Amino acid sequence: MADIQAEDANEPRLIVETGVDRRIADIIEPVIVPMGYKLVRVRLLNQNGLTLQVMAERNDGTMTVEDCEALSMAISPVLDVEDPVDKAYHLEMSSPGIDRPMVRKSDFSRWQGHIVKCETSVLLDNRKRFRGKIAEVDAEGFTLERDQAAYGESPRVKIPFSALAEAKLVLTDDLIRDALRADKLAKAEAANQNEQSDDE
C-alpha cells in the first residue's frame, strides 16, 4: 500500500451524484467538512420504504459508530429544514467499508497495489469496464495491471480520472490486512495527538 499522506480535506470528489442525490450532497457537505469529515457518497434508495444512505469518513480515513452518530445528529436538522426529499425516508450513516467506492484521487494513491473494479464514461481500449491492480497513480489518472486481459489487449491500461464513472476496491485478503493496519495506525496517531493536547 502507498504511504498515506495527510490528505487535503478540501480535495474534490471525482465521482459526484446527480439529481436529488446531488442536491442532498450539496446540503450535507458544508455541514460535515468543518467537523473533520469527508463525504464519500450519497444515495437515495428504494429499500425499507425510502433510505437515504450517506457514506463519510474522517480525514484520516477512519470512521467509528460514534462518528456516524455525531454526523447523523448534525445533518438531520439541516435536511429537515432544507427538505430535499418529498417523502418520508430513513437516514443511514455509514463508513465506506473496506471494499469502498473510490471517489478522490487520493483514494487511488492510498490504495495503490490493490485490486479495483471500475467503469469509464468513454471507451478505452475498446471497453468501459476494467478490473486490475492499481500499478501507478499520477495527477491525470492511474494505470491498471489487468488480471484478465483478452487476447491482443495490453495487460496494462491507463485510465484518466476525467473518464472515470465509477470505481470500487475489490475485497481481498491483502486489502483486509492493509485496511486493518491503516485503521490501527490512524487510531494510534489520534490517541497520541489526544495525549499531547492533554499534556499542554
Q: How far apart, in Å, do the first and last CA atoms of the chain sit?
A: 34
Residues in contact with 183: Cβ distance below 8 Å, sequence separation at least 6, in sequence order = 61, 62
pLDDT of residue 95: 92
Helices (H), 55-172: 65-82, 105-110
**How many alpha carbons lie under 13 Å from residue 145 in its C-beta half-sphere?**
8
Q: In what order do the strands lie in the sheet with 141-146?
A: 156-160, 141-146, 127-137, 115-124, 164-169
- Averages of pLDDT over each 10 residues, the chain, 200 residues: 47 92 96 95 89 93 92 96 91 93 95 96 92 96 89 90 96 91 82 74
Architecture of the domain made up of 19-94: 2-Layer Sandwich (3.30)
Residues in contact with 138: Cβ distance below 8 Å, sequence separation at least 6, in sequence order = none
Domain segments of the chain as ranges: 19-94, 105-169
Which cell goes with 85?
426529499
**Entry pTM:** 0.85
d(CA 121, CA 147): 21
pLDDT of residue 9: 60
Superfamily of domain 105-169 in CATH is: Ribosome maturation factor RimP, C-terminal domain (2.30.30.180)
pLDDT of residue 185: 85
Which cell goes with 56?
463519510
pLDDT of residue 182: 83
pLDDT of residue 5: 38
How would you classify the pairing of strands 90-94 and 51-58? parallel
C-beta separation of 60 from 186 below 8 A: yes
d(CA 76, CA 106): 29
d(CA 132, CA 116): 6
Under DSSP, is residue 155 helix (H, G, I), strand (E, B) or coil? coil
pLDDT of residue 200: 64
Which cell goes with 129?
469496464
d(CA 5, CA 156): 26
